[in-house]
Structure formats: C-alpha cells, structure tokens
Amino acid sequence: MTVQTPATYPPPPAALQDSSLVETYRRMTAGSARLAERALALFPSGITHDARYIEPHGIYVTHASGSRKWDVDGNEYVDYPGGHGALLFGHNHPEILQAVQNQIVKGLHYGASSELELEWAEWIQRLVPGAERVRFTNSGTESTQLALRLARAVTGRSKIMRLVGHFHGWHDYAASGFLGQFDGSPARGVPPAVAESVVLVPPGDLEAAQRSLDDDVAAVILEPTGSVWGQVPLALDYVRGLREFTAASGAMLIFDEVISGFRCAPGGAQEALGVTADIATLGKVVSGGMPGAAVVGRADVFDAMDFRRAAAHGEEKVFHMGTFNASPATCAAGIAALRLLNSTDACEQAIRYGDGLMDDLNELFAEEGIGWIAYGTYGGFHIFLNPAGADTDRRRIEAGEHDFAFLKAPVEPALRLKLRVGLLVHGVDVQGWPGAPVSAAHTPADHEQTVKAFRRTIQALRDEGDLA
C-alpha cells in the first residue's frame, strides 16, 4: 500500500491562528520554528516523543543547568518536565555528571558484566522494599513488558488487569485504555488478541476489580499513586484492597514505579504507602538521567529467569535480552543518583516545593475566580481545569474522591494549548496535561516566576476570550 503524503502540511488548529499570545510565542521562538519546519521532513509531527507535541511548534533546547534550560533563541525557562521526570536532582548535578564523565573514558560498552551493575543493584535493594532481585532494562516500557511476561510465566495464566488511564509505556499490552479504547478495544496497530487479554477496570472501584479478577488473571498492574503520576489519585484503602485480593487469588501485584519510584520516598510508593508489591518496575530517577530502567521483586518470581534454577525445575527459562542493559555509564549515573538520594533529603525538598507552589497557585486561581485547582501528591503538580465549574478542592481530589471521568473531563483544546504556550512565553515549561514533576533543584525564584507566569497567562487568556 502506498501512503499518500499531502502536498501541503496541514495548518495548526484554527484557534491558534488568531491569537496575539501565539503570535508573541512565534516571534520569540523564531529559531525553534525554523528547526521545527526542518523536522517535519524527518519525523512525524516533527517530534521524537508524543509528549513533545506542542502547537504551533515546540522549543529547541541548547543547554540546561539546575532547574533551568535555554532555547536556540536565547530564551530561558524554568524547566518542569525535568527529563520527563528523570531529573529529581535537576540538570547536571555535579556528582552525577562527574560519575558519568569518569566512566565514559573507560569504555562505553563491555559486552560483559561489570562491578558497576552490582553496586547499582545493591543501592536499589537497599532503598526499595521487596527488591530481592533486580533485572536492568533500557526503558520503563521494557520494564513493564518484562514484568507482565514474568507474571504470566510464573502464574501460568494469560490475562493482565489494568486500570483505565494508567500509563505503563507504549508497548502493545499497555496501549489500549490509556488515551482511549476505554472499552478494551484494540488501539490502532495492536492485535485484537492482545487487547482481549487485557482486562480494563475503572480505577478506585475495588468491587469492579474483584468482579473482573477471574482465575486466568496473571497480574494486576497499576501506578500506585494514580494514573499518570497521580492525576487521578487513588485512595490508600483501594491499593491495600488490591494487595489483599491479588494475594488471595494468586495473581501478581505489579507496581509501576517508573515515575513514583524514588520520588514519593527514597523507597518509592511502596515505602510511602506501606504496601509491598510482588514485582515493581523502576525507571527515570533510577538511572540518574541516563537511559536505563529496572524490574525488581520477589526472588522466587525472578527464579523463572535464572538459567540453573529454571533447568533444575525442568522449566523453560523466561527470555530477556537488551543490548544496552546496565551499560557502564548508565550504571555510574544510577549509582551516583541513588547515593545522593540516600544522603540528602531530595525527595522531601521536591515534595515541599510542589506543596508550596500548589498552595500559591490555588490562591491565585481563587483570586481570579476561575475554578482551576492545583493538586498533586509527592511533588508532582497537576492543574484541574474544571470545565464544569465543580465545587471541590485539592484535598478532596488528592484523597481519591473523584474518578477518572471527572478529573479527565474534556477541556476546550484551545484553552489547554494556549495555556501551555502562554506559560512558555512567560518563561515556564510544563507538561501538556497541564502539570509536571518538580525537582529538588527548583528554587524560590522558580516558584515566584511560575506563579507570575500563570497570572500573566490567565490575564492573556481572558483578553483573548478563552476565560470568563
């Protein structure tokens, strides 16, 4: 089949064409606009990660330091995406940087084991509850994929239970039910048989999960603090309930801690919630900003990957490879990051910063009378744009009182886009939902600039008629 490429690239959404806010953004990011134009001939939408999609174009960054980054036009931003959540210590922490620099001159890849991987795994064991065994991978996506395979292998069952809207990377078992296909139908490109093997349940509804947990469910996988890092928070009783009934049914409980790991507490959500899973997936912070991730958990589960033990049981070993697993520079960055985590109060600093920022943003939103609510547990902040003007507050949202449909109710796309662009115009980069993780490197000056950027953006949105 020949794919037809349109002769002209489709224009940006109409709502952005007549906006002085967007015009200001275009003017101040002219260099980025030129690179974005060039990128259209290289990458779909000109981007290399769906989360970097910004209309009319994203910024092209030249360098970063601490909590800040700079684009090709010389604009400086308070950086919240923080390496998509990997940079709990901010950009270029001297100890992590030094560890990587010392390592790269000794060789990039040995095609063999190194003592570094032992030290990295020992730090994980020391910090993360239940990490009796460790396997390194290259990304969070690979980690959840391996965790699901292990669960199926060990239980001899074939289905996976997932919570609607929870993110576990982009592989076939994680695709449906994240952004759409909430009825369990296959996302585009996913084989129907794979989608059928995934049982989707509404987050927070223990009875629904219990009803759907038949004896072919190998594992329940979830983001323990709620979907996309707590955008739809879960009540603690719900998580405890999942722990109890998976244990009773023989299904594995998998905590996807790719983002909550080392952020909720040094031992991640397992430590913060006091609930230990059978398997946990780690990514982002674990490798100190280098590409790398891990799967950890019960020793008897990981025995299924062990050559000698599997043979002794007369079983086929669970298959797993990966060219860049535990590559030396990644190990070095991971060791430095986890050592820092252990010797500083980085988690608490980030959580404190996030709390203070959300307090001031909520004060601003109340002053402006716009009904938005900043919320977020464990140092990530999210902005509920409250399209129906519901009467609620931060504490109620964080306690898990509101469900997915309420918190993810559709918002006018132009409002979401222009809010993001407006914040960029005022020197603040957040993720698009809108929200972001925060880091231990964020400062009072970043806080002040962020609140100011929201104030000015709200004013601009009012001026353009996007807000009452």
At position 379, the amino acid (one-letter code) is G
> Are 285 and 267 within 8 A, CB to CB?
no
Among 32, 75, 141, 377, binds ligand PLP (CB under 6 A): 141
Among 19, 67, 75, 139, binds ligand PLP (CB under 6 A): 139
Name the minimum Å distance from CB 378 to ligand PLP.
13
Q: How far apart are CA 436 and CA 308, in angstroms?
A: 44
**Does the protein bind ligand PLP through residue 256 (CB under 6 A)?**
yes
**For residues 29 and 144, which CB has a smaller minimum distance to ligand PLP in the complex?**
144
Among 25, 77, 136, 167, binds ligand PLP (CB under 6 A): 167
Per CB under 6 A, the segment of 97-105, 134-142, 199-207, 237-245 that binds ligand PLP is 134-142
**For residues 201 and 425, which CB has a smaller minimum distance to ligand PLP in the complex?**
201
Per CB under 6 A, the segment of 9-17, 58-66, 138-146, 396-404 that binds ligand PLP is 138-146
**Does the protein bind ligand PLP through residue 168 (CB under 6 A)?**
yes
Q: How far apart are CA 467 and CA 460, in angstroms?
A: 9
Name the minimum Å distance from CB 459 to ligand PLP.
32
SS3 422: helix
Name the minimum Å distance from CB 213 to ligand PLP.
22
Contact pattern from residue 397 through residue 436 relative to ligand PLP, giving x for each residue in contact according to CB under 6 A and a dash for the rest? ----------------------------------------
**Does the protein bind ligand PLP through residue 259 (CB under 6 A)?**
yes
SS3 294: strand
SS3 253: strand
Segment (H or E) for 384: strand 380-384
Q: In what order do the strands lie in the sheet with 428-429?
A: 61-65, 68-71, 76-79, 428-429
Contacts of ligand PLP in 114-133 (CB under 6 A): none
Name the minimum Å distance from CB 68 to ligand PLP.
22
CA dihedral of residues 137, 139, 141, 142 (deg, nearest 10): -20
Q: Which of 224, 293, 254 is nearest to 150 (CA)?
A: 254
Contact pattern from residue 222 through residue 241 relative to ligand PLP, giving x for each residue in contact according to CB under 6 A and a dash for the rest? -x------------------
The neighbouring-strand residues paired with 383 are 374
**For residues 140 and 233, which CB has a smaller minimum distance to ligand PLP in the complex?**
140
Residue nearest to ligand PLP (CB): 140
Contacts of ligand PLP in 205-224 (CB under 6 A): 223
Per CB under 6 A, the segment of 119-127, 136-144, 354-362, 446-454 that binds ligand PLP is 136-144
Name the minimum Å distance from CB 429 to ligand PLP.
17
Per CB under 6 A, the segment of 26-34, 98-106, 165-173, 175-183 that binds ligand PLP is 165-173
How many residues line the site for ligand PLP (CB under 6 A)? 14
SS3 88: coil
**For residues 280 and 335, which CB has a smaller minimum distance to ligand PLP in the complex?**
280
Distances (CA, A) of 165 to 204, 319, 405, 408, 436: 12, 29, 10, 9, 17
Q: How many CB atoms lie within 10 A of CB 373?
A: 22
Q: In what order do the strands lie in the sheet with 198-201?
A: 133-137, 293-297, 279-282, 252-257, 217-222, 159-163, 198-201
DSSP state of 80: -
Per CB under 6 A, the segment of 140-148, 231-239, 323-331, 441-449 that binds ligand PLP is 140-148
Q: Which of 66, 67, 65, 12 is nearest to 36 (CA)?
A: 12
Q: How far apart are CA 28 and CA 150, in angstroms?
A: 50
**For residues 34 and 52, which CB has a smaller minimum distance to ligand PLP in the complex?**
52
**Does the protein bind ligand PLP through residue 283 (CB under 6 A)?**
yes
Among 58, 130, 169, 400, binds ligand PLP (CB under 6 A): 169
> Are 187 and 180 within 8 A, CB to CB?
yes
**Does the protein bind ligand PLP through residue 144 (CB under 6 A)?**
yes
Q: How far apart are CA 109 and CA 74, in angstroms?
A: 36
Among 140, 334, 371, 427, binds ligand PLP (CB under 6 A): 140
DSSP state of 46: G
**Number of alpha carbons in the 13 Å side-chain half-sphere of residue 12:** 21
**Does the protein bind ligand PLP through residue 203 (CB under 6 A)?**
no
Q: How far apart are CA 344 and CA 7, in angstroms?
A: 55
Catalog residues that contact ligand PLP under the rule CB under 6 A: 84, 139-141, 144, 167-169, 223, 256, 258-259, 283, 293
